[in-house]
């Protein structure tokens, strides 16, 4: 096996695409970007052949509607390299899911598990853009009428149609079909779930699958999103966050308008009309947890937030925290002095964090390449994943004012033609169709992280008793979201490396046993 490429970006290997997210709007379960400095340089294969740069964009004519092929096709983008390929090797296919796929060419290289699989198995790697993300759009806008063909099943069918019909830009590229060549499907987060859902829905299409942080179970009220954070963050910070949100809830549900205004003013949100918007905005600091990685240091914005609460006069708070008086003042100071400008820029708090002004372009703009809008369509129709406060009997980092109705109302605002009333999200249907936590499929590897905020929707959620087997292994490391997809994360942490090694061993055994299908 060739040595791994130089990890020159070790400290920034797993940057999440949070910059495109609107403030006070939940983060997408997106695959972290693995930056690639040399994406525009020619690639030299292991046999010395000079190949196109990693960022070379290819296109495929995908069906607009798999239920009605007569509607024609649209142009779907993909990226490809056969740097490690040798005849007989597999094809490793991945979609980053709910994002413009152009920044994801790092997943063609062995800076990721994708490239490690390609290197080990002498395979070629592909990154394909998901329908309705980036520039791969069946229709020229993201209106409700266009989004009617934006479903999980259409995305699954896209993967099948691509494997059966693509002519890859490589030797013998028109003959590498799943019947004659083993295809391996890799995904993380939503695309990790798509890996599981596809293998359930299209048995035998893929020779093997690798699903990282795969959110396989659709959950409407996904309050558990914040549980790994609560359990793994510093105890003093967790204690003080709970104390502050409990105090805010008490004031906001009371009748003392002066006290209510004082809290709003202290957080620089005095002009905001709706208290649920104020309370919901405080989730912003918690959502920063999703962008953490093991290979980065303690300077991340989330740790700055906790330090602001817990370090007083150079002294760290005890495990119980400093208490609400200090924490409320410290949090509001950090919010107004450091954080508000970071997330809102020059916008007013109402324009940035408010969710009731339906004339804002965030709700009305139907231009393509808007991952928030495309993903929210899936949220409102098929998966839920609403990130709310914990039930009354459980400790909560989030204000209890924030309930599912708060986010479901926003479905109506973004898609009024589809939802004149709050939607009945079809989570039960999704779980029935694609098996959710009950998945049992051969040659599918699940990798999860203890610190992943999405863990409670994966097969490694506490209370889910799905057994790890040789045909469907489940491995859990100490990582954050999709940590095991990154070579740098494995370099930083032995438990993540162990997950990768187990996955690579499973893939190796499955591909060795694979046989072409008889004509």
C-alpha distances in Å from residue 468, one per residue of 434, 436, 440, 516: 19, 15, 10, 27
Q: Determine which helix (DSSP H) or strand (DSSP E) holds 294, and give its type and residue range.
A: none
DSSP string, 155-174: HHHHHHHHHHH---SSTTTT
Of residues 288, 452, 486, 495, which has the active-site annotation? Answer: 452
State the residue for tokens 């508000």. 340
Nearest Cα residue to 14 out of 295, 218, 208, 242: 295
Number of C-alpha atoms within 13 angstroms, CB side, residue 317? Answer: 24
DSSP string, 393-437: TS--SS-TT--HHHHHHHHHHH-TTT-SS-----HHHHHHHH-GG
Structure tokens at 333: 């100071």
Of residues 16, 189, 281, 389, which has the active-site annotation? Answer: 189
CB contact set of 63 (below 8 Å; sequence gap of 6+): 69, 71, 72, 73, 157, 158, 161
Q: Determine which helix (DSSP H) or strand (DSSP E) holds 477, and give its type and residue range.
A: strand 474-477
Residue 307 bears catalytic tag? no
Residue 452 bears catalytic tag? yes
Taking the C-alpha atoms of residue 145 and residue 377, their distance in angstroms, rounded to an integer, is 12
Q: 474 with 461: CB under 8 angstroms?
A: no
| Number of other CB atoms surrounding residue 420 within 10 Å | 9
Structure tokens at 447: 């990798």
Taking the C-alpha atoms of residue 374 and residue 147, their distance in angstroms, rounded to an integer, is 8
State the residue for tokens 């024609």. 72
Would you please indicate which residues are annotated as catalytic (active-site) residues?
Answer: 189, 452
């Amino acid at each position: 096996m060739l040595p791994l490429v130089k990890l020159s970006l070790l400290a920034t290997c797993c940057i999440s695409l949070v910059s495109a997210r609107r403030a006070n709007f939940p983060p997408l379960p997106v695959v972290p970007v693995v930056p690639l400095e040399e994406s525009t340089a020619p690639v030299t294969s292991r046999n010395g052949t000079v190949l196109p740069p990693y960022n070379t964009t290819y296109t495929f004519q995908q069906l607009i509607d798999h239920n009605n092929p007569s509607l024609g096709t649209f142009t779907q983008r993909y990226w490809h390299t056969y740097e490690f390929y040798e005849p007989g090797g597999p094809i490793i296919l991945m979609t980053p899911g709910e994002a413009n796929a152009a920044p994801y060419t790092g997943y063609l290289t062995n800076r990721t598990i994708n490239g490690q699989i390609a290197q080990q198995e002498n395979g070629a790697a592909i990154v394909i853009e998901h329908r309705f993300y980036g520039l791969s759009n069946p229709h020229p806008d993201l209106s409700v009428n266009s989004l009617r063909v934006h479903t999980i099943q259409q995305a699954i069918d896209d993967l099948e149609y691509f494997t059966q019909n693509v002519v890859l830009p490589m030797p013998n590229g028109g003959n590498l079909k799943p019947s004659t060549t083993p295809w391996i499907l890799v995904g993380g987060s939503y695309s990790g779930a798509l890996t599981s859902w596809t293998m359930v829905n299209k048995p035998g299409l893929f020779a093997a699958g690798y699903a990282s942080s795969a959110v396989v179970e659709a959950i409407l009220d996904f309050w558990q999103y914040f549980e790994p954070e609560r359990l793994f963050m510093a105890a003093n910070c967790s204690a003080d966050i709970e104390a502050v949100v409990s105090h805010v809830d008490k004031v906001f549900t009371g009748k003392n308008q002066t006290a209510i205004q004082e809290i709003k003013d202290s957080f620089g949100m005095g002009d905001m009309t709706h208290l649920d918007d104020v309370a919901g905005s405080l989730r912003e600091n918690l959502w920063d947890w999703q962008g953490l990685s093991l290979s980065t240091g303690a300077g991340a914005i989330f740790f700055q937030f906790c330090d602001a609460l817990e370090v007083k006069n150079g002294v760290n708070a005890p495990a119980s925290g400093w208490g609400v008086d200090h924490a409320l003042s410290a949090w509001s100071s950090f919010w107004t002095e450091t954080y508000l400008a970071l997330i809102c820029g020059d916008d007013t708090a109402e324009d940035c964090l408010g969710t009731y002004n339906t004339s804002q372009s965030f709700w009305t703009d139907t231009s393509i390449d808007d991952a928030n809008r495309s993903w929210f369509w899936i949220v409102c129709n098929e998966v839920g994943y609403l990130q709310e406060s914990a039930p009354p009997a459980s400790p909560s980092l989030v204000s209890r004012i924030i309930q599912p109705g708060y986010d479901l109302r926003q479905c109506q605002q973004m898609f009024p033609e589809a939802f004149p009333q709050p939607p009945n999200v079809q989570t039960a249907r999704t779980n029935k169709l694609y098996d959710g936590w009950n998945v049992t499929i051969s040659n599918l590897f699940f990798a999860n992280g203890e610190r992943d905020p999405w863990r409670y929707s994966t097969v490694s959620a506490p209370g889910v008793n799905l057994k790890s087997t040789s045909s469907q292994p489940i491995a859990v490391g100490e990582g954050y979201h999709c940590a095991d997809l990154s070579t740098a994360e494995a370099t930083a942490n032995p438990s993540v490396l162990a997950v990768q090694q187990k996955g690579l061993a499973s893939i190796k055994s499955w591909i060795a046993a694979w046989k072409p299908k008889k004509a």
